[in-house]
Amino acid sequence: MTNLNICIDIDGTVTDPYYWLSDANRYFNRRVGIQDITCYDIKKVMRIDKDAYDEFYHLYGEDIHWKSAARPGTKEVINRLSLMHHIHFVSARGKNLTDMSRDWLKQEGIPSDSVSLLGSSYKVKAAQNLNCDLFIEDCLSNALELAQAKFNVLLVDCNYNRAILPPQISRVYNWSQIESYIRDFIFKKKKQLA
């Protein structure tokens, strides 16, 4: 049996990628649409400075994370994967959000072996410590950094991560595709071992 260490980002990967948009539009008095989010940096998309964003996130970030919805099929796929593999959530969220994030995963019925909130977008070290076989991510710069460190990455397609990808990164469009990819990945791995 091939048991994998699967690292999974949370925001935009497990959650709907645009769940913060209506609250941000209301707060900043903007009318930004999903199609306008072609850049990962919310500040650039909303045309706001760092201080204004930090204040918004400080006031409402936790609530917005808490009420976010999971992408369709996430719960079912991760539950099936967790029967064979180790599921490690690795997010750039601040460490202070650890309890809330664990509770959210529990509430959504999503199992995990560990939850690491790094407070930084640098995920290579966490991936090394977790002996990561496959990293599922929505942020292009994180994906490129992980691929450069020789990790296999599945990049969940979003309006803000379109680019030509190196061979270690595969673009996927939903959790059902992620499950199929992992099935093939194991098959190839077993063949290599045989």
Q: Which residues bind Mg ion (CB under 5 A)?
A: 9, 11-12, 138
Cβ closest to Mg ion, residue 138 vs residue 145: 138
User: Which is nearest to 40 in space by CA: 139, 118, 136, 142?
Assistant: 139
| CA neighbor of 15 nearest in space, from 77, 58, 65 | 65
In the complex with Mg ion, the residue whose CB is nearer, 71 or 186, is: 71
Would you say 100 and 140 are in contact if contact means Cβ atoms under 8 Å apart? no
Q: How far is the CB of 113 from Mg ion (least distance, A)?
A: 19
Closest distance to Mg ion from the beta carbon of 1 (Å): 30
Residue 191: CB minimum distance to Mg ion, A: 32
Q: Please identify, using beta-carbon distances, which residue of 9 and 133 lies nearer to Mg ion.
A: 9
Q: Which two tokens stand for residue 24?
A: 């941000």
Sign, CA dihedral 91-94-96-97, equals negative
Q: Which is nearer to Mg ion, 24 or 186 (CB)?
A: 24
Single-letter code of the amino acid located at 80: R
Q: Cβ distance 180 to 162 under 8 Å?
A: no
The CB-nearest residue to Mg ion is 12
Q: Closest distance between Mg ion and the C-beta of residue 188, in Å? A: 26
**Looking at beta carbons only, is 11 or 145 nearer to Mg ion?**
11
- Minimum Å gap between C-beta 156 and Mg ion is 8
**Three-state SS at 94:** coil
Closest C-alpha among 152, 131, 124, 122 to residue 114: 131
Minimum Å distance from CB 193 to Mg ion? Answer: 32
Q: Which lies closer to Mg ion via its Cβ, residue 133 or residue 138? A: 138
SS3 100: helix
